[in-house]
Structure 1
Amino acid sequence: MTDIAEGRDIAVGIDPAGGWRLPLAWAADEAHRRNVRLRLVLAVPSPHDTERIVDDTAQHNAVRQASSEALAEAAAWARERHPGTELATALRDGYPAPVLCGTSRHARMVVLGSRHLTRPEEIFSGCSVVLPVTAQAHCPVVVVRGPERTAQTPAHIVVGVDGGESSKTAMALAFQEAALHGCELHAISVWQPPVFSFQNETAAVGAQRRMLTEVAAGGAQEYPDAKLTHEVLTGHPVERLAEAAEHALALIVGRRGKGGYTGLRLGSVVHGLLHRAHCPVITVPSG
Structure 2
Amino acid sequence: MNGDEILVGYDGSADATLALNWALDEAEHSGRPIRLAYVFEWVTVAGWVGPGVAPGIWPDDTARRQVEELVAKAAADAAAARPTVTVHGEVFDGPPALVLEERSAEAGLLVLGSRGHGGFGGLLAGSTAVSVTAHAHCPVVVVRDGDTPAGRTGRVVVGVDGSDTSLLALGFAVERAAQRGVPLHVVRAWEPSADRDLGADDAAAAERAALDGPLAGWRETFPDVAVTVDVVAGRPAGALVEASRDAQLVVVGSRGRGGLRGMLLGSVGQQLLHHAHCPVAVVRER
Normalised to the residue count of structure 1, the TM-score between the two structures is 0.84
Partner of 2:21: 25
* Structure 2: distance between partners of 1:62 and 1:16: 17
Deviations 1:167-192 (A, max 9, x none): 11111111110110011001110112
* Structure 1: distance between partners of 2:150 and 2:19: 14
Deviations 1:234-267 (A, max 9, x none): 222111111112111100111128xxxxx96411
Task: Rate the CA distance shift 1:280–1:212 in 2: closer, same or farther, 3 A.
Answer: same
Q: Tell me the matched-pair count.
A: 269
Letter in 1 for 2:223: P
The answer as to whether partners of 2:157 and 2:243 remain within 8 angstroms in 1 is yes
What are the equivalent positions in structure 2 for 1:141-160 lying under 5 Å apart? 141-145=140-144, 146-148=147-149, 150=151, 155-160=154-159
* Structure 2: distance between partners of 1:246 and 1:77: 31
* Structure 1: distance between partners of 2:57 and 2:192: 57
Letter in 2 for 1:103: R
Letter in 1 for 2:233: T
Q: CA deviation at 1:8?
A: 1.4
Task: Rate the CA distance shift 1:18–1:244 in 2: closer, same or farther, 3 A.
Answer: closer
Letter in 1 for 2:59: A
Partner of 1:222: 221
Letter in 2 for 1:87: V
Partner of 2:31: 35
Mind listing any 5+ residue stretches in structure 1 that lack a counterpart?
A: 1-5, 258-262
Partner of 2:51: none
Task: Rate the CA distance shift 1:29–1:131 in 2: closer, same or farther, 3 A.
Answer: same
What are the equivalent positions in structure 2 for 1:117-266 lying under 5 Å apart? 128-145=127-144, 146-148=147-149, 150=151, 155-194=154-193, 197=195, 200-256=199-255, 265-266=264-265
Task: Rate the CA distance shift 1:244–1:84 in 2: closer, same or farther, 3 A.
Answer: same
The answer as to whether partners of 2:112 and 2:143 remain within 8 angstroms in 1 is yes
Query: SS of the residue aligned with 2:223?
Result: coil
Partner of 1:98: 98
What is the aligned-residue RMSD (CA, Å)? Answer: 2.8
* Structure 2: distance between partners of 1:107 and 1:240: 31
Partner of 1:3: none
The answer as to whether partners of 2:161 and 2:189 remain within 8 angstroms in 1 is yes
Mind listing any 5+ residue stretches in structure 2 that lack a counterpart?
A: 49-53, 257-261
Normalised to the residue count of structure 2, the TM-score between the two structures is 0.84
* Structure 2: distance between partners of 1:278 and 1:54: 48
Query: SS of the residue aligned with 1:19?
Result: helix
Q: CA deviation at 1:99?
A: 1.3
The answer as to whether partners of 1:122 and 1:128 remain within 8 angstroms in 2 is no
Q: CA deviation at 1:84?
A: 2.3
Deviations 1:109-155 (A, max 9, x none): 1000012968x9799xxx72111111111111000022127567xx3
Partner of 1:12: 8
Task: Rate the CA distance shift 1:108–1:77 in 2: closer, same or farther, 3 A.
Answer: same
* Structure 2: distance between partners of 1:67 and 1:128: 22
Aligned residues with identical type, % of pairs: 36
Deviations 1:6-39 (A, max 9, x none): 9311110002455321000000111111111111
* Structure 1: distance between partners of 2:143 and 2:47: 35
* Structure 1: distance between partners of 2:206 and 2:248: 28
Deviations 1:191-239 (A, max 9, x none): 1234x54653223212210122222122112112221111101222111
